[in-house]
Amino acid sequence: MGSSPGAGEGARAVPEGGAGAAPSFRVWAVGGMPEVRDGDDLAKLIAAAEPGLVDGDVLLVTSKIVSKAEGRIVEAADREAAIDAETVRVVARRGTLRIVENRQGLVMAAAGVDASNTPAGTVLLLPEDPDASARTIRDGLRDILGVQVGVVVTDTFGRPWRNGLTDVAIGAAGVRVLDDLRGGTDAYGNPLSATVVATADELASAGDLVKGKAEGLPVAVVRGLSHVVASDDEPGARTLVRSAADDMFRLGTSEAVREAVTLRRTVREFSDEPVDPGAVRRAVAAAVTAPAPHHTTPWRFVLLESAESRTRLLDAMREAWIEDLRRDGKSEESIAKRVRRGDVLRNAPYLVVPCLVMDGSHTYGDERRDTAEREMFVVAAGAGVQNFLVALAGERLGSAWVSSTMFCRPVVREVLSLPSSWDPLGAVAVGHGVGAPRERAVREAEGFIAVR
């Protein structure tokens, strides 16, 4: 980890020499950088420490000195409060450790708030706009040394599924941060359909090998990769941040469960998009993890996957419902209006009929205890249905739990050929909702709590 050219060599470069030259590059740490203070001009400090920069070099600048130069040191007796202030969204939490999305859109531990390499009682925040910081350094070096270089502002990240830390790019200017190889072929002629290389992150990691974490060497230079240096209008490192729509791992486990519960809405209008039967089966697998009395399994889920089975059931239920309403003395106009309310089931592309079974229940011969026994099983069945609805939301499927099958259980059993011991607990309409769900009214938990 020296301070002179040649301190490190590697591969993945376009040859700088003549034809047939082996790909190579050099990376070295810049020595002689002073302690950076608020208001310092980083371009001047870097130019003074490394005046031999040439066109095509890439500067790798640790975010800490950028933050110090930009006055991002704040007094903070409580680091947690500083993390709160920089946090936009909690991604995952385990004990005191928080993985969050910060104001810069970066997902990282503690929002990038750093209490190291800064005076006691203060913390260091990340640059407000790391891409703009990189542009300022690049422009300054062009003015001072007359060179066209790329600049990458780096910070240290942990990574899901991998132990250890590595430096990544959080800001960039004049660097092709992504190398899109899609549409090309590999050495065997196979098409490349998903290969987009995070070039800026690879550069950041190369610099970290010579800068280190505690050597006081905050800047490194990469030479021999001039093909990654680009014009001023090249997008910055913000391009490396995956959008929410493309992020399959957006939340930690407990946060994902809470979001799925929050996402669960009653959906009454569905699109024609088909429902993946596998997603419904995964939701059933979640449903049957609910607690139940006496180590029983009181849930059954009847999946109506064909239009014919759905129509046959709903037509039979409709006739039974109309008969009930006529016996209640309802007018034909009132009956027609009430029946239309049940169209949420008819318009859904997929129906599920959850059922309660009492297998394993105890009979006491005492009305009070037998009633309580059945209630235990009903509660367990409801817990299973709630699991099912939440799991559907996690699969990005909308649902509506409608109680209508409970009012005509004999009809449902007959149409679906169910055992007499299966008690239908309504029907769940499943599908892809049309439009955004309505905002749910805020319910403060305190309004539902009694403390003794």
* Structural domain contains residue 411: yes
Are 259 and 241 members of one domain? no
* Structural domain contains residue 239: yes
Its pTM surpasses 0.75: no
Are 284 and 330 members of one domain? yes
**Residue labelled with tokens 């309660």:** 356
- Residue 3's contacts (CB-CB under 8 Å, 6 or more residues apart) are 28, 29, 30, 31, 32, 217
The sheet that has 97-102: what strands, in order across it?
Answer: 87-94, 97-102, 107-109
**Boundary of a domain, candidates 190, 222, 246:** 246
State which residues form the domain around 214: 9-72+127-246
Are 376 and 423 members of one domain? yes
Are 56 and 178 members of one domain? yes
**Residue labelled with tokens 């913000």:** 238
At 82, the amino acid letter reads A
Are 313 and 343 members of one domain? yes
Are 287 and 373 members of one domain? yes
| Torsion angle of C-alpha atoms 143, 146, 148, 154, degrees rounded to 10 | -50
Are 133 and 232 members of one domain? yes
* Structural domain contains residue 59: yes
- Residue 82's contacts (CB-CB under 8 Å, 6 or more residues apart) are 74, 76, 113, 123, 125
* Structural domain contains residue 329: yes
Are 214 and 266 members of one domain? no
* Structural domain contains residue 345: yes
**Boundary of a domain, candidates 246, 265, 299:** 246
What's 328's domain CATH number?
Answer: 3.40.109.10
**Radius of gyration (Cα) for the chain, nearest Å?**
31
Q: Which residues pair with 151 in a beta bridge?
A: 59, 173
* Structural domain contains residue 94: no
Each residue's pLDDT, cut to its tens digit, for the chain (452 residues) gives: 344 443 333 334 444 555 556 789 999 999 999 999 999 999 999 999 999 999 999 999 999 999 999 999 988 777 888 899 999 988 888 777 888 999 998 999 989 998 877 888 889 999 999 999 999 999 999 999 999 999 999 999 988 888 999 999 999 999 999 988 888 888 888 887 778 899 999 999 999 999 977 678 999 999 999 999 998 888 899 999 988 878 878 777 777 777 777 778 888 889 999 999 999 999 999 999 999 999 999 999 999 999 999 999 999 988 888 888 888 898 888 888 877 766 778 889 999 999 999 999 999 999 999 999 999 999 999 999 999 999 998 888 999 999 888 989 999 999 999 999 999 999 999 999 987 777 778 888 899 999 99
Are 157 and 266 members of one domain? no
**Boundary of a domain, candidates 246, 277, 309:** 246
* Structural domain contains residue 430: yes
Are 328 and 421 members of one domain? yes
Based on the structure, what is the number of domains in the chain?
2
Are 284 and 212 members of one domain? no
* Structural domain contains residue 117: no
- Give the end-to-end CA distance of the chain in Å, rounded to a whole number: 64
Are 265 and 231 members of one domain? no
